[in-house]
Chain A
Amino acid sequence: MKRCMTSKSFNRFLEDSLDPGSLARLQAHCRKCRTCAGKLESWRELKEKLNTVSSITIPDGFKEKVMSRITNERILPARTVEAKRGLAVAIILSAILYSIFRPFLRPLLSGMASNLLKALSVVLYNFLSAIGIDPSVLIRLFGNIMASSRGLLPLFMVTTTLMVAAFILLLVKGRTARQSG
């Protein structure tokens, strides 16, 4: 008896991707080999069951409903390329403007960043107080850690910066993916 059929052949039979020659060989072999005939039967059974379980009917008039809805809609202009170009131009312009007006802008931006940090600190302080944690304990603990091992400060700052950058990237990437579907 010729070599028995492999599972891959039966799998290809299941998805109707066997060429006519291979299909004929498979069927001829299964007429002589009871083991393979049994396997063929079980693959055939699986195929039928998968077709049964996968049968799904589109609701009546679905296409017409969709077409009727889109008559009230208009195709929006593509945003991806334009938005990227706009962002690139904005970054370059900002860099140029900053380099020109650096002496005036630097103290202004530092002040804004400082105020923002202060506001965030106040929010965090109030939040910790509200949930019953004494913020001064945490501040002392953090201060002690930083004082005892000064080497950790740059590491802490780099990690925080990376985390913030990763968070912003995730937000932007998620938004882009959703916009493009």
Chain B
Amino acid sequence: MQDYEIVRLCLQGRTEYFEKLVDRYQKLVYSLAWTYLKDPQLAEDASQEAFVKAYKHLASYNPEYKFSTWIARITTNTCTDLLRKRKDLCPIDDAFEVTDPEDTPEQQVIGRETKNRLETLINGLDPKYKQPLMLYHLSGMKYDEIAEYLDVPMSIVKNRIYRARKMLRQAMED
């Protein structure tokens, strides 16, 4: 079932269908919130808030655009509001530092070294390469969704992700 069909059903009062949208986009929303907030509890709160906002404003959703990009924008706005309220805005350069909150301490120690190097390399990338790369790999967005979200042509998104990978591979070899 397409996203717009689910939205239509929700608008007709079949709100239980919203669960399908949560199921489809929870990874995208949570990972985006995570990249902004870098705190599991805050990311969860912001993700829940983003879904609630999306639900309340479902009638304003324009099916000409992808639901993924719409909810991604809602998530970004929610995180920005949250950070503004807390006044501890994290620098965007470090925003993609990722640690799995579900890892045990032992797993975190084992994986830390491998992760650290790549994270350092990723954080060292120019934001214009880093952002689409992380949207693709971390948030699981597709090329066309990233293009719509970033408001740039898909060819540019593809090219930037390709160049980011090339730079990472080169840096890893060095």
Contact = CB atoms under 8 A, between A and B. Distances in A.
Contact of A180 (B27, B48, B57, B119): B57
A50 B172 CA distance: 12
- Secondary structure call for the A interface: helix
Contacts, number: 126
Contact of A43 (B40, B51, B56, B169): B169
A165 B40 CA distance: 42
Interface residues of A, number: 40
Interface in A8-65: 8, 11, 14, 42-43, 45-46, 49-59, 62-63, 65
Interface in B125-173: 134, 137-138, 162, 165-166, 168-169, 172-173
B125 to A, nearest CB: 12
B98 A54 contact: yes
Nearest to B78: A181
A136 B171 CA distance: 61
Interface string A51-83: 111111111001101110111011111111000
Contacts of A181: 53-54, 57, 60, 70-71, 73-74, 77
Interface in B1-45: 10-11, 15, 18-19, 22-23, 26-27, 30-31, 34, 40, 44
B98 A53 contact: yes
Interface string B48-79: 10011111111110100000001101100100
B54 to A, nearest CB: 7
Q: Interface majority SS on B: helix, strand, loop or mixed?
A: helix
B168 A46 contact: yes
A11 B166 CA distance: 8
Contact of A75 (B47, B58, B101, B138): B58
Interface of B: 10-11, 15, 18-19, 22-23, 26-27, 30-31, 34, 40, 44, 47-48, 51-60, 62, 70-71, 73-74, 77, 98, 100-102, 111, 114-115, 118-119, 122, 134, 137-138, 162, 165-166, 168-169, 172-173
Interface of A: 7-8, 11, 14, 42-43, 45-46, 49-59, 62-63, 65-67, 69-71, 73-80, 177-181
